[in-house]
Structures are given as C-alpha cells and as structure tokens.
Amino acid sequence: MANIKLVRIDFRLIHGQIVNKWIKATLSNKIIVIDDTLASNDFMKSVYTMAAPPGVDVLIYGEDEAVSKWKENQFG
C-alpha cells in the first residue's frame, strides 16, 4: 500500500500551490491525477508531467483505470 500523505480534490490538478507548498510540506515523491479528459490527451499529460518538480513522478489515470490500480495494489 502506498503511504498517502495528502488527498486533494481540485479542478486545477497540478498548479503552483501543489508544486511549491504541498510537495515540500509532505515530502512527497509522486503526484497521482485522476481525470478522464486529461488521461486521454497525451499532449496535456506531458504538459502536466513537466509541471512537477524534478524527482516527483506524475501518474495520470482515468477514473476506471485509477479504481483498477487502487484495487490492484493501492498505488503502492
């Protein structure tokens, strides 16, 4: 099971507040975005991935895939 440090529901997905405050405050090394529209757009996925600081993985899933991944290993 993953050690989940913060869950945030926000239509802005990855933005300055996440990158500059929450990543540092929680010492997180991964951002998981769950959004059907974003998951189906390779260009926008690359934009969001580039928005994360170095060393922070970004995983982008649609809702169904996220549920499956959670059931499989709880994002561990």
Residues annotated as part of the active site: 15
Answer for the pair 23, 29: CB distance below 8 angstroms, yes or no. Answer: no
3-state SS, residue 30: strand
